Amino acid sequence: MISSAVVMGLLGLAGTFIPEEISNVLGIDPSPITLILLQIIGGLYLGFAMLNWFTRSALIGGIYNKPVVLGNLIHCVVVFFALLRQLMEQFHFIIVIMTLVYLGFAIWFMLVMRSNPLRNQSKISV
């Protein structure tokens, strides 16, 4: 959760505070609608980063924090396929790196969702 929070936090800060520079690097016209969309996306990334950061020490897996894991899994899978599609159309080193990072997160969140965090713990008596 910590690595996911850090990556999403950095992307969120970049999208929020330097949308014009991001649009120039990506070769997108920095029109007002593009800039506001990049800031909105940055806000979404910051929200996910905060969610992941504050659940980093919670019990996760199986039925525990399932909405958090499922939201992250869906986000990572959708972004992975979007990046993969873009990579097939145009090869760019940054897209390759981001595709691999999102593939790693998607696999990790799938494993977390299918895991049982209580399997290796001893039974707790009340």
**Residue-level pLDDT, tens digit, the chain, 126 residues:** 999 999 999 999 999 999 999 999 888 899 999 999 999 999 999 999 999 999 998 888 777 889 999 999 999 999 999 999 999 998 889 899 999 999 999 999 999 988 887 775 555 444
- The confidence score (pLDDT) of residue 85 equals 96
Q: Are 117 and 60 in contact (CB under 8 A)?
A: yes
Q: What secondary structure letter does DSSP report for 26? A: H
Q: Per the structure block, which two tokens stand in for 35?
A: 């800039």
Q: What secondary structure letter does DSSP report for 61? A: B
- The confidence score (pLDDT) of residue 120 equals 55
- The confidence score (pLDDT) of residue 6 equals 96
